[in-house]
Amino acid sequence: MIELIDISYAYSGISALKNINIHVEKGEAVALMGANGSGKSTLLKIINGLISPDSGVYKFDKEEITAKKLREAKFAKLFHQRIGFVFQNSDTQLFCADVYDEVAFGPRQMGLSESEVEQRVNDCLTLLSIEAFKHRQPYHLSGGEKRKVAIACVLALNPEVLVMDEPMNGLDPRTQRWLVEFMVKLNQAGKTLLISTHNLELVQEISQRAILFDENHSIIADMPTDILLMEIELLKKVNLVDEYYHRHEGEHHAHFHNHNYNL
């Protein structure tokens, strides 16, 4: 479904991605992990066609995606219907006067009738328990509320591939839990998921496979998530865990605390 061949990218001389090779099959759920600045968001932007790589080839469903093709309105529209993107920063994603119009934007672009649009918007608002914000200005919502609206916008498009950049950030525990379960359901329903996250506790619930970036913007590991989580030395090396990180034997969860710290 997604094929990245030897992709590199730099922001006016500042390297962000170096020789990235990734192949994601339809229906996979893949996590992108790595320290701050390792290149996760840049890669997700390339996959969503927001920026084009300096070198290398990006193929979506076997077709090469180029800046030239994305400038063709018809091609871009079809492409963006098939792949939905939840940005790391919701402010860059929300621009309408009220939440209803924000979530309706995608379905309207798809050419659905206004009654179909209404149905879809209401379904998505209900799903995220944000019906009460329907007529609020997205700009004035709290950070977590904005993220829920951003997620509703993407779900309203019902894309085949969902790309989410740190979707759990800033959400309260109950909403995080809901989102994890929802992502699992989406994946079981056949959606391809690509999710960047620093959340080591939830990552193995949402992905079978994890791709790990090092701080030099290259891929250092691509393996089953549960196996990667046991590679403590590797996680330390890429600055994803600190010296206090450990796992309880026989238990799936991992957490941080210092054994020498008595309260």
Q: Which residues bind ligand ATP (CB under 6 A)?
A: 11, 14, 16, 34, 36-42, 88
Residue 42, contacted partner among ligand ATP, Mg ion, none, CB below 5-8 A by kind: ligand ATP
Q: Smaller CB distance to ligand ATP: residue 117 or 163? A: 163
CB distance 59 to 65 below 8 Å: yes
- Closest distance of CB 43 from ligand ATP, Å: 7
Residues contributing to the site for Mg ion (CB under 5 A): 40-41, 88
Q: Smaller CB distance to ligand ATP: residue 10 or 127? A: 10
SS3 label, residue 2: strand
Residue 159, contacted partner among Mg ion, ligand ATP, none, CB below 5-8 A by kind: none
- Closest distance of CB 143 from Mg ion, Å: 15
- Closest distance of CB 45 from ligand ATP, Å: 8
Q: Smaller CB distance to ligand ATP: residue 75 or 245? A: 245
- Closest distance of CB 37 from Mg ion, Å: 8
Among 31, 157, 37, residue whose Cα is nearest residue 93: 157
Helices 99-109 + 114-127 axis angle, to 10: 130
Residue 36, contacted partner among Mg ion, ligand ATP, none, CB below 5-8 A by kind: ligand ATP
Q: Tell me which amino acid residue 84 is.
A: G
Q: What is the number of residues in the chain?
A: 263
Query: Which residues contact residue 89 at a Cβ distance below 8 angstroms, ignoring those fewer than 6 apart?
Result: none
SS3 label, residue 214: coil
- Beta bridge partners of residue 255, listed in sequence order: 246
Query: Which residues contact residue 83 at a Cβ distance below 8 angstroms, ignoring those fewer than 6 apart?
Result: 47, 48, 49, 60, 159, 160, 161, 162, 163
Q: Smaller CB distance to Mg ion: residue 37 or 144? A: 37
Q: Tell me which amino acid residue 30 is.
A: V
Residue 84, contacted partner among Mg ion, ligand ATP, none, CB below 5-8 A by kind: none
Residue 39, contacted partner among Mg ion, ligand ATP, none, CB below 5-8 A by kind: ligand ATP
Q: Smaller CB distance to ligand ATP: residue 89 or 158? A: 89
- Closest distance of CB 88 from ligand ATP, Å: 6
CB distance 220 to 234 below 8 Å: yes
Whole-angstrom distance, CA of residue 170 vs CA of residue 147: 8
Residue 37, contacted partner among ligand ATP, Mg ion, none, CB below 5-8 A by kind: ligand ATP
- Closest distance of CB 229 from Mg ion, Å: 20
SS3 label, residue 132: helix
Q: Smaller CB distance to ligand ATP: residue 36 or 142? A: 36
